A and B are shown apart, each in its own frame.
Chain A
Amino acid sequence: MLIGMEPLNGNAFLSHAVETIAAPAMPMIARKPVSKVPDFKQIIQAHWEALAALEIEKVLTFYTEAFSFSDPTMHINLPSKAAVREALKQLQSYYANVKFTPTQIITGTNWVVAQHILAGSYKPPKRPEAGFKEFSIRGVSVFEFVGAKFKRQTDYYDVLTWRKQVGIEERS
Chain B
Amino acid sequence: MLTIPHLLTRRSFVAQTGQWLGGLALASSFPPARAGMAKNPKQLVAALYAAYASLDMEKLLACYAEDGWLEDATFHFKIEGKNKLREFFTSQCPFFLGVKFEIKTLLINGPYAISQHRQSGSVKQGLVPNAGPFQYAVEGISIIEFDREKVKRQTDFYDVLTFRKQSGQS
Partners in one complex: yes
Interface residue ranges, A against B (CB under 8 Å) = 7, 9, 72-73, 75, 104, 106-108, 111, 113, 115, 138-140, 142, 154, 156-161, 170-172
Q: Is B140 an interface residue (CB 8 A)?
A: yes
In whole angstroms, what is the CA distance A154 to B157 when docked? 12
Stretch at the interface among B44-52, B58-66, B80-88, B104-112: B104-112
A52 to B105, CA, bound (A): 28
**Given A138-B73, A170-B170: A111 and B141 interface contact (C-beta under 8 Å):** no
Bound-state CA distance A7–B74 (Å) is 28
Residues of A within 8 A of B109 (CB): 7, 9, 106-108
Which A residues are in CB contact (< 8 Å) with B16?
none
- Give Cα A139 to B157, complex, Å: 8
Contact with A along B138-152 (1 / 0, CB 8 A): 111101000000000
The residue among A106, A108, A158 with the most chain B CB atoms within 10 A of its own CB is A106
Q: Is the interface of B mostly helix, strand, loop or mixed?
A: strand
**Could you tell me which residues of chain B, from 65 to 119, have a CB within 8 Å of some CB in chain A?**
73-74, 76, 105, 107-110, 112, 114, 116
Q: Please, which residues of chain B bring their CB within 8 A of the CB of A158? A: 73-74, 76, 157
Residue from B116, B138, B155, B162 within 8 A of A115 (CB atoms): B155
CB distance from B155 to the nearest CB of A (A): 7
State the CA gap A108–B105 with chains docked (Å).
13
Instruction: Supply 23 A–B pairs (Cβ within 8 Å), ascending by A.
Output: A7-B109, A7-B110, A73-B139, A73-B157, A73-B160, A75-B159, A75-B162, A106-B143, A108-B109, A139-B73, A140-B141, A140-B143, A140-B157, A142-B107, A154-B116, A154-B141, A157-B157, A158-B73, A158-B76, A159-B74, A160-B74, A161-B76, A172-B170
Contacts of B112 in A (CB 8 A): 106, 113
Residue of A nearest to B169 (CB): A170
Residues of B within 8 A of A (CB): 73-74, 76, 105, 107-110, 112, 114, 116, 138-141, 143, 155, 157-162, 170
Q: Which residues of A contact B74 (CB under 8 A)?
A: 73, 156-160
Give the residue name and chain of the B residue nearest to A155 (CB): B157
B143 / chain A contacts, CB cutoff of 8 Å: 104, 106, 113, 115, 140
> Within 8 Å CB of B162, what residues of A?
75
- What residue of chain B has the Cβ atom nearest to residue A75's Cβ? B161
When the two chains form their complex, are residues A108 and B107 in contact, meaning their CB atoms are under 8 A apart? Answer: yes
Give CA–CA (A160, B161) in the complex, Å.
8
Residue among A115, A139, A156, A159 with the most chain B CB within 10 A? A156
In the complex, the chain A residue whose C-beta lies closest to that of B153 is: A104
Query: What residues of A have a CB within 8 angstroms of the CB of B107 in the complex?
Result: 106, 108, 111, 113, 142
CB nearest to A138 among chain B residues: B73
B169 to chain A, nearest CB (A): 9
Which 7 pairs between the two chains have the least Cβ-Cβ distance? A72-B139, A156-B157, A138-B73, A72-B159, A108-B109, A113-B114, A106-B112
Could you tell me the distance between the alpha carbons of A5 and B42 in the complex, rounded to whole angstroms?
Answer: 20
Contact yes or no, B160 A171, CB < 8 A: no
Chain A residue at minimum C-beta to C-beta distance from B109:
A108
Which residue of B has the minimal Cβ distance to A152? B105
